[in-house]
Chains A and B, each alone.
Chain A
Amino acid sequence: MNLVFILAGLMAIAGVVGVILARQPVHQVIATVFSFIGLAALYLSLQNEFLAVIQLIVYGGAVMILFLFVIALLSARKDPVEKDVGKLTPPTIAGFAVGGALLVMLGIVGLFGAEGNRGWTAVPEQFGQVGEFGHELLTTYVFPFEVIAFVLMVAVIGVMILVGRHRA
Chain B
Amino acid sequence: MPAFSLNAYVALSAVLFALGGIGVLVRRSPLAMLMSIELMLNSANLLFVAFGRAHGGYEGQIMAFLVITVAAAEVAIGLALTVLLFRRREHADVDEVTDLKL
Contact = CB atoms under 8 A, between A and B. Distances in A.
Given A16-B39, A42-B46, A67-B31, A113 B10 contact: yes
A112 B55 CA distance: 19
Interface in A140-168: 140-141, 144, 148, 151-152, 154-156, 158-159, 162-163, 166
Contacts of A114: 6-7, 10
A46 interface: yes
Given A51-B64, A55-B68, A144-B62, A74 B7 contact: no
B54 A103 contact: no
Size bin of chain A's contact surface: 35 or more
B26 A16 contact: no
A122 B1 contact: yes
B6 A107 contact: no
Given A28-B31, A128-B61, A158-B80, A47 B12 contact: no
Given A51-B49, A82-B28, A151 B54 contact: no
> B interface, by DSSP: helix, strand, loop or mixed?
helix
A29 B35 CA distance: 8
B6 A118 contact: yes
- The interface centre, meaning the residue of B11, B35, B82 with most chain A CB atoms within 10 A of its CB, is B35
Interface residues of B, number: 73
Contacts, number: 247
A58 B68 contact: yes
A102 interface: yes
Contact of A81 (B11, B61, B75, B92): B92
B62 A141 contact: yes
Given A70-B83, A152-B69, A106 B2 contact: no
Contact of A1 (B2, B5, B22, B92): B2
Nearest to A45: B2
Nearest to A40: B42
A4 B11 CA distance: 16
Contacts of A96: 22, 25-26
B73 A151 contact: yes
Contacts of B54: 118-121
Interface of B: 1-23, 25-32, 34-36, 38-39, 42, 45-46, 49-50, 52-56, 58, 61-62, 64-66, 68-77, 79-84, 86-87, 91-93
